[in-house]
Chains A and B, each alone.
Chain A
Amino acid sequence: MKRMPTLLGILAAIIVLAAAPAFAQDVVKIGQIEAQTGPNAIYGWMSSQGTALAVDEINKAGGFKVGGKTYKLQLVALDTRGEPKEASVQLKRLVEVDGAKYIFGPFLSNVFLAVRPYAGEFNGKILMWGGATRIHDYVGTPGHDFLMRTWNWDAGPNGFGELMVDQLVKQGVKKIALLYQNDQGGKVMEDIYIAMFKKKGIEARLDYFEPGTKDFSTVLAKIAAWKPDYLFPGYADSYIYDIVRQATETGQLKKFFLVRGSLGPGLKNKDALDEYMVYVPKYFEEAEKKDPKVQKFIKAYKDFYKRDFPYDQAPLCSSSCYDHVYMLVEAMKKAGTVDDPAAVKKALMGMTYEGMWTLRFDERGEEIFNFDVVRLKKGGALEVTHINPK
């Protein structure tokens, strides 16, 4: 039992670490709840990278002025691991202990639904903006003034999904096979897209796969026997890489239609596929060449993190990430306050921010921003369409 004191010492050290002094004067605190580790880390990871970068840039530039006072930002980014239970404790900590009024995240719907009741108690006193799909159901409804959704919605006249499906209709596509991950995101997409295809006269079939699946041969063979024009695999690159590889390797399916995910899987299999049509909030490889703001971001990223720029994941940065920190600062300046989230929200709703993206919110508080649709043809020929929703 001689080791007991050592262990207690370690625990005490941890507690001391936890109680690290927070520097006080004139800081605006931003809280963030995203999954940075765990099986669903892919969604929250890029967001938390971009936010930290923007906060660092703003502070290094000397902060920002509101009402004659100079403020700096302090980011408290917590890792939810994608667990609702953990996230709900963390949100309470951010609001009560850290006193953060601006919350970035979450990207995961199950996390959002678990923290929603508590956040609702602070309606008007906090501002939460996340990319979670299920936020769509609540944003702009009574009692949810605190909520804003930072991602384009799929359906509707400006919806990226609807605009993309219209292109399929123009091509005369008759049959499309959907292969989704059996989780919250997959289910929401089923509700959106099955109805959309039906309305537009495209026959659709849907298969779900268990999260964690890596071998899709069976379900792909099943789908191929149905002879669809396009395969519409769910989302998340960690699956799409495998789906596209396995579908093309055996030559069963060669045309892909994606509304989430990146161009990476398509490029990797460019010689084996016929077409790979994907929604990316921004096609970074091209934007880097044209847009100085994007160049600056990529350079800043490399300097700050000292690692390669993640072209695949960077488009996820359109959700509650880099640009949004700047937009929030602009809104605070416009509102003339840093302590009143309701006033800041009002300012946000009426403004358009020109960052890497052109960001604005619709009347419900759901974001509308410009995006790219990339069509990759066999051999690697690319066709990029820039879409600016009205």
Chain B
Amino acid sequence: MIARAIFWGALALLPLMVKTDFVLTIFIYAFIFGILGVTFDLVFGFTGQLSMFHPAVFGVSAYMTHLLVVNAKLPFWLATLPAAATAVVLSIVVGGICFKFRLKTFYFAVVTLAFSEMARLIVMNWNSVTNGTLGLVVSGKPTIWWPGAGVVAIKGPVAWYYLTLVWLAATVFVCARVLRSWMGRAFGAIRLNEDLARTLGINVFRYKLVSFALGSALASFAGGLYGYYTGYIDPGYLGINQSMEVLAMVLLGGQGTLTGPIVGSLVLTGLPHVIDLRAEARAILYGAILIFTILVMPRGIVGTLRAWRARRAA
């Protein structure tokens, strides 16, 4: 509890000490990918389903949000809702097919990857809507009502830092509430033993789908935020690399925890900018750090720290 308070407190106070856009940007990206990581962990770490569909959700919602703002003239905040709804519909279709046919582990991963790739190919070639491989330049920023200042655009690194941090905290909060409820227990039962869960009267199909859809809905906001933060979106967002990156974040930080993916995201987003070596050496060291961290800490950073603390307490 104390560790968690220190963690969030430190993140909340960081911009008071660090002013550079460079460092804050690393954190902003880490928070956005943290949202993705936490929601992925809801599906993967807590429900046991290795989904590779997250990048599709991320990319499609980035496009949806922007297109709704531009074409339907919706404000950013309102546009994120239909984007989230689309993510839910997509994941119900994909998840429905996969879970109906009881695809598990490796099979589930490959089929969700297949759907994700198809989504990427569609976005990439649907020129009239998505502008294809040229991508879309996103101008404009979300606005917010601020006491004393009225409606202002969210601009600058500090404002974005807090926006993404608050959003990440809200995501973690929602996930934590869900996991503490009966739904969370059903997810856990499915992860541990699907057949046993079924005999216990848990509707495995329904709860897997709920987990998948909820994870996607929450992840969709990361897409919208990312597009509006960077100011440019292209089909590369939907690629398999994104999948791998999110997976690496969750595993490195600690699967089955809510803080783990955030720690993983901070480490992996920051790492390339901390190593100051020539390009090839940097990539080699980056890979080596990934390998050794997971070998030394098979349960990830947070998972290992927890086990360590538990052992000390005992």
Contact = CB atoms under 8 A, between A and B. Distances in A.
B304 A1 contact: yes
SS class, residues of chain B in contact with chain A: helix
Contact of B133 (A14, A37, A182): A182
Interface string A41-64: 000000010000000000000000
B296 A84 contact: no
B308 A1 contact: yes
B137 interface: yes
Contacts of B280: 36-37
A236 interface: no
Interface in A82-127: 84-86, 88-90, 92-93, 96-97, 110, 113-114, 116-118
> Looking at A1, A36, A90, A208, which has the most chain B CB atoms within 10 Å of its CB?
A1
A4 B305 CA distance: 10
Interface residues of A, number: 40
Given A88-B230, A93-B22, A113-B232, A3 B296 contact: yes
Interface string A313-343: 0000000000000000000000000000000
Interface stretch (B39-47, B101-109, B183-191, B269-277): B269-277
A88 B26 CA distance: 10
A117 to B, nearest CB: 4
A92 B22 contact: yes
B135 interface: yes
Contacts of A140: none
A194 B167 CA distance: 45
B279 interface: yes
B283 A187 contact: no
Contacts of A118: 21
Contacts of B134: 134, 184, 187-188
B25 A89 contact: yes
Tell me what chain A mostly uses at the interface: helix, strand, loop, or mixed: helix
Nearest to B127: A187
A110 B134 CA distance: 8
Contacts of A84: 230, 232, 234, 236
B20 interface: yes
B125 interface: yes
B26 A89 contact: yes
B292 interface: yes
B25 A88 contact: yes
A4 B297 CA distance: 9
A18 interface: yes
A380 interface: no
Contacts of B293: 7
Contacts of A187: 132-134
Interface of B: 20-22, 25-26, 29, 124-125, 132-135, 137, 230-232, 234, 236, 272-277, 279-280, 282-283, 285, 289, 292-293, 296, 304, 308
24 contacts: A7-B292, A7-B293, A14-B275, A14-B285, A17-B275, A37-B283, A48-B279, A81-B272, A81-B283, A84-B234, A84-B236, A85-B29, A86-B273, A89-B22, A92-B22, A92-B25, A93-B22, A96-B21, A113-B135, A113-B234, A114-B230, A114-B231, A117-B230, A182-B124
